[in-house]
């Protein structure tokens, strides 16, 4: 290993293109996967920004924004389950937002209990903002949707489903993928939705349990008893369910996957060619080693060791680059989710690619014979 590193250092100009190819490939793979995860985190924002352990809604809800109304009477069923500590009603429904200057925009109303610390209150809301939402027809939106999509500022009046509302504040971190999220109290949501939300109906029941483990058990028990009337999902499962639905529906994963695959192929081809050329260029030195009795397999191991270190060095250069690009993307409003699973997967794939390239370079090792020293 040390000899392989010394060779890489002394002949760094020869191996530079391979290292850069590996770096490029790793950066592209990590960023594409991070962008994909960051993009679809947006679809589960209502779930991820509440403190509920369990979501109860209609049967087989594919995504949090596609729930159908259920009778509020289901609350008694859920509250009577052992291990349940609290149950709150939650309204989530599409609505038409009419801008003050004219024009409409589809929005998604989120109506919840405005008590501080309630399960349905978005975690980004302060106590003061929750107090403001107790006023009739008061709403709060994310600052990223204020001007560009909704055309409002704090204090402006607009209309939702033809009924006047006032924007009393903004939050940061609830950027939407499709329709902007509009936060309000449950009372305001009912007033704005009117006949769209039948009387004594809600969209979800938000449940807190004694523990996360008990929440899974309650979900299983509710599905077993009332599976033909309602669906019960832990927060983690419902969040993942929402992301997967939009991932497969929009086909964005396929497009981003192709881009990542392209980076992998480009890196593989360039790295393989670089290693093959470098190995062929060292043919005389390898022939001397063979003439001195060094087994051919040891030379092959050294070539693979060089391939491994090319991959490691490429990863070492790629990860800081990824974090720098992530910071730049954040300034532009894009979320790149470079969680450790993404980085680990990128490292494994990239080093495997470098080793495959090294196996290709072994062709030149098999062609080396000590007789070449006499030519």
Q: Which residue has the tokens 């360039």?
A: 270
- The number of residues in the chain equals 375
Q: Give the single-character DSSP code of 180.
A: P
231, burial (CB in 10 Å: exposed 0-12, middle 13-18, buried 19+): buried
What are the residue ranges spanned by the domains of the chain? Answer: 2-41+251-374, 45-250
Least confident segment among 12-26, 125-139, 320-334: 12-26
Give, in degrees to the nearest 5, the angle at Cα 59 between 75 and 115. 35
CA 164 to chain CA centroid, nearest Å: 36
In angstroms, what CA-CA distances link 343 with 2, 266, 308?
26, 19, 17
Query: Cα(103)–Cα(85) distance, rounded to whole angstroms?
Result: 44
Task: Give the tens place of pLDDT for each residue, 216-261.
Answer: 999 999 999 988 899 999 999 999 999 888 877 777 667 777 776 7
In angstroms, what CA-CA distances link 102 with 105, 140, 283, 291?
10, 19, 75, 85
Angle, in degrees to the nearest 10, between helices 235-250 and 252-281: 80
3-state secondary structure of 93: strand
Task: Give the tens place of pLDDT for each residue, 335-374.
Answer: 788 888 888 988 888 888 888 877 776 666 666 666 655 5
Query: Cα(306)–Cα(289) distance, rounded to whole angstroms?
Result: 17
Q: Which helix (H) or strand (E) holds 51?
A: none
Question: Per-residue pLDDT for 51 more than 90?
Answer: yes
CA nearest neighbour of 54 among 228, 225, 238:
238
What distance separates the 2 farthest-apart alpha carbons in the chain? 96
């Amino acid at each position: 290993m040390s000899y392989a590193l010394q060779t890489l250092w002394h002949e760094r100009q020869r191996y530079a293109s391979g290292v850069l190819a590996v770096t490029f490939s790793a950066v592209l793979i990590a960023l594409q996967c991070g962008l994909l995860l960051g993009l679809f985190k947006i679809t589960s924002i209502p779930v991820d920004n509440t403190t509920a352990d369990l979501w109860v809604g209609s049967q087989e809800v594919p995504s949090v924004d596609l729930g159908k109304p259920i009778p509020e009477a289901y609350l008694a069923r859920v509250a009577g389950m052992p291990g349940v500590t609290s149950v709150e009603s939650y309204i989530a429904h599409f609505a038409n937002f009419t801008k003050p200057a004219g024009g409409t925009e589809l929005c998604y109303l989120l109506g919840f209990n405005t008590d501080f610390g309630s399960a349905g209150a978005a975690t980004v809301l302060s106590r003061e903002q929750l107090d403001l939402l107790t006023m009739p027809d008061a709403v709060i939106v994310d600052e990223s949707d204020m001007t560009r999509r909704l055309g409002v500022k704090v204090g402006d009046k607009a209309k939702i489903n033809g009924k006047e509302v006032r924007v009393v504040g903004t939050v940061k971190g609830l950027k939407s993928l499709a329709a902007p999220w509009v936060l309000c109290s449950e009372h305001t949501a009912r007033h704005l939705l009117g006949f769209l939300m039948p009387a004594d109906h809600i969209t979800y029941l938000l449940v807190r349990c004694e523990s996360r483990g008990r929440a899974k058990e309650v979900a299983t028990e509710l599905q077993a008893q009332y599976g033909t009337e309602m669906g019960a999902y832990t927060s983690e499962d419902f969040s993942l369910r929402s992301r997967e639905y939009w991932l497969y529906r929009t086909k964005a994963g396929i497009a981003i996957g192709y881009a990542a695959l392209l980076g992998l192929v480009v890196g593989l081809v360039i790295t393989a060619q670089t290693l093959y050329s470098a190995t062929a260029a060292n043919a005389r030195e390898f022939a001397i080693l063979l003439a001195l009795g060094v087994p051919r397999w040891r030379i092959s191991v050294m070539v693979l060791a060089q391939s491994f270190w090319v991959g490691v060095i490429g990863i070492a250069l790629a990860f800081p680059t990824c974090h720098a690009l992530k910071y730049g993307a954040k300034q532009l409003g894009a979320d790149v989710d470079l969680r450790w699973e993404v980085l680990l997967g990128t490292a494994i794939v990239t080093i495997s690619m470098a080793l495959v390239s090294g196996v290709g370079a072994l062709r030149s090792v098999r062609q080396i014979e000590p007789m070449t020293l006499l030519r």
